[in-house]
Amino acid sequence: MCGIAGILGKDSNNSKIICAMLDVQQHRGPDAKALWDDAFITLGHNRLRIIDLSENANQPMVSICRRFTIVYNGEIYNYLEIKEQLKEHYNFKTNSDTEVVLAAYIQWGIAALQQLNGMFSFAIWDCQDHKLIAVRDRFGVKPFYYTIFQNQLFFSSEIKTLFTAGVPKFKNQKVWANYYVYGTYGMPNETFWENIHQLPASHYFEVYFDENLKYSNIKLQKWYDFANRIKKIVPSTVAELKLKYTALLNDAIQLRFKADVPLGMNVSGGLDSSTLINLVHENLSSQQSIEAFTFYSNNKEYDELPWVEEVIKTTSYPLNKVLFDYKEIPKLIDAVSWFQDEPFGGFPTLAYSLLFAAARKKGIKVILDGQGMDEAWAGYDYYFNNSNHVIQGLNSSPVRPEVLIESFRALAIKEEYERPFDNDLQNLQYRDLFYTKIPRALRFNDRISMMHSIELREPFLDYRLVELAFAQSETLKIQDGKSKWLLRDLVKKKLGDAIALAPKRALQIPQREWIANELSSYFNEKIELFAKLENIDEDKVREIWKDYLNGNQDNSFYLWQWINSISVL
């Protein structure tokens, strides 16, 4: 896992600027830093060594023919299988997946993307055609940000990296207004900052540069058509489906064991995490080892330690329990906000920061995580209770737009999402996969893991698994009032009814209680700062905060929004 950066254009200071950009995102790859340039482009790379730890695999990497140069962030889990196909066409000099991506592009062009099973964002410069191609993976696991500034194209793995290059920092007023009014985080190409764009998941663009240093317009193109692939999946019997899905689960797990560094895994007491533990235990060879990490808050109403410990007992893996103490929260908010660049999830994201820090101290550089099952198998309560909310487990609106002055509130434009399917359930799942749940969770998780220079792998987001589960009928996803029905039925013999049939728990941390009690003074101070921001109604903010302290505590999402705004701005 790495950080990439580049400037398409020619300024005498570009090499110096790239060095500064790499310095600010060094946490993404502390093991090596390098740049490469020619008359048209300057490329930079921060490397976190995971596969092929030698210096030969450092980047930017130039092809044997010298025509192509790549900067790449990610992991291709089937790189050995692809390499086998290419070995007669390319004389490989390393054991890295980076060189496989480069060779695949040289051999197959943009069609090579269809062969890649993994998470990735990369840019390849073609010095013969003066062309830059930029690519992002199917679900947007790895980030890619870009902007046009002073007639040059800048790109990087983090937003702060672009600001370091001198790009102005202005709020994207529409995205901020939507955040407060609807609780959304922008469309797939947007960020919270004006003129800072992200390459959407499943997309790429090409830019041509001529001898006069003029470039063609950026035109986004989709390379992975998820909806069309789903519609081509042929229905099968339940028995056949279970066999196929189980085989894919095992293969997805096995592929993600490929690493030349120690492995760990995030665990909780839920169905998805317990399934991950079980699959790891079944598929990890006796020659490999793995450590489990979980956090707890010493609150019996929220902590999942009893469930975690029960599942871990079936393995020989050590369980690292990380205490999340409310006293650490003010300091964590400041630290994590710098790495996130944009508004992020609440206290759970802070807790994960401690978990990744604990893993890094033990020398672990790769963590497996259970993200993706809920979106594939319709696991959230709002899939079947007719709620318009995008947050699990709430009875009231998570946002309080009345704190905005009218002119600012009017800037909010409710997002309209593509509806490519003929039923509401799949359209909701599609929304969560490509517009809401998965994009924001992947952003939070990428930043919080890379904050501690750890690569995070999500085996349940293997596109083959997502496609197969997503394509199934509603009756296989929701039965007898329970979501993820077929998955639960598939694993209950292994995990037992207590875990397999347990309802989804929305939150593992007493965030609402801590805000109202132990952290009330801290929150009061920060809320006062929020109340004085431009476009905010001070009196309404104080009224709502007082109401919360008096017991109206069904949710605290809007309070986190206010605090988060102060820390990010």
According to the model, what pLDDT value does residue 393 have? Answer: 57
Mean pLDDT of 505-534: 92
Q: Is 80 exceeded by the pLDDT of residue 504?
A: no
Instruction: Report d(CA 28, CA 24) in Å as an integer.
Output: 9
| Burial of 121 from C-beta contacts in 10 A (0-12 / 13-18 / 19+) | buried
- Which of these, 472, 470, 478, lies nearest to 384 by C-alpha position? 478
Number of residues that this document lists for the chain: 569
Q: What is the pLDDT of residue 507?
A: 57
- Average pLDDT (9-14) is 90
Higher pLDDT, 500 or 284: 284
Angle between helical axes of 538-549 and 557-568 (0-180°, round to 10): 130
Give the pLDDT confidence score for residue 94 in this predicted structure. Answer: 96
Q: How confident is the model at residue 112 (pLDDT cuts 50, 70, 90)?
A: very high
Distance CA 145, CA 134 (A): 10
Q: 338-347, 357-366, 377-386, 451-460: which has the minimum mean pLDDT?
A: 377-386
Residue 347's pLDDT is what? 96
pLDDT tens sequence across 346-355: 999 999 999 9
Q: What is the mean pLDDT of residues 312-330?
A: 95
Q: Angle, nearest 10°, between helix axes 520-531 and 557-568?
A: 70
pLDDT, averaged across the chain? 94
**Predicted local confidence at residue 394, as pLDDT:** 66
Residue 287: pLDDT band by 50, 70, 90 thresholds?
confident
**Alpha helix ranges (H) inside 232-268:** 238-255
Query: pLDDT grade, residue 74 (50/70/90)?
Result: very high
Quick one: pLDDT at residue 396?
Answer: 80
How are beta strands 68-76 and 455-457 bridged, if at all?
unpaired
What does the alpha-carbon distance between residue 178 and residue 122 come to, in Å, rounded to a whole number? 30
Phi-psi region of 121 (alpha: psi -120 to 50; beta: other; left: phi over 0): beta
Bind-site residues for L-glutamine: 97
Q: Which domains can be identified in the chain, with CATH numbers?
A: 2-222 (3.60.20.10), 233-510 (3.40.50.620), 512-568 (no CATH)
pLDDT higher than 90, residue 362:
yes
Q: Per-residue pLDDT for 75 more than 90?
A: yes
Name the active-site residue from 2, 19, 65, 127: 2
Active site residue 65: no
